[in-house]
Structure 1
Amino acid sequence: MKKNITNPIESISSSVNEYTNSKNKIEDSNNIVKKLNSLQNKQIEIEILVESFEQMIKDLKLYMLDLKKYYCRKRKN
């Protein structure tokens, strides 16, 4: 059971921690999503968790890009 549940959750946690500690989240988000994709398996709970983290990272990336654009426009004015 540990192999099927705990190990994937530990891997997800490690990937998410890597992302949150990253200095360059916009560029690193693609790498983290790829790592999370590799963790998906036939266990529906783990798959749902991975998909949720993937969506969160994608949303954060879009938000950061929007903020960056906003501040770039602000500086020009």
Structure 2
Amino acid sequence: MPKYICSLNSKSAWYLPPEEVAQQTFSTEKEAKQWFYQNCPDLNLEFSGFHLTIHLPTNFVSCNGKGVGQIIEYSSKQ
């Protein structure tokens, strides 16, 4: 089953302690999007849909064409 890891551009999950990353990791894409709505309440968020990047499928999050963060889909099969 995939997990969805949220990461703000200003505070990338790649550089956070594991306990903080765990708080930004969700079982569904819907929960991950909700995390962005809660953490960026004043922004009109747009989601790109998942695109395969070099390593993992990534859903880029933006507001008015400016990047805000991303949701990375991670599967234990990868």
Report which of the two has the higher share of strand. 2
Instruction: Identify the structure with bigger relative contact order (alpha carbons < 8 Å, sequence gap 6+).
Output: 2
The structure that has the greater radius of gyration is 1
| TM-score, structure 1 as length reference | 0.29
**TM-score (norm. length: structure 2):** 0.29
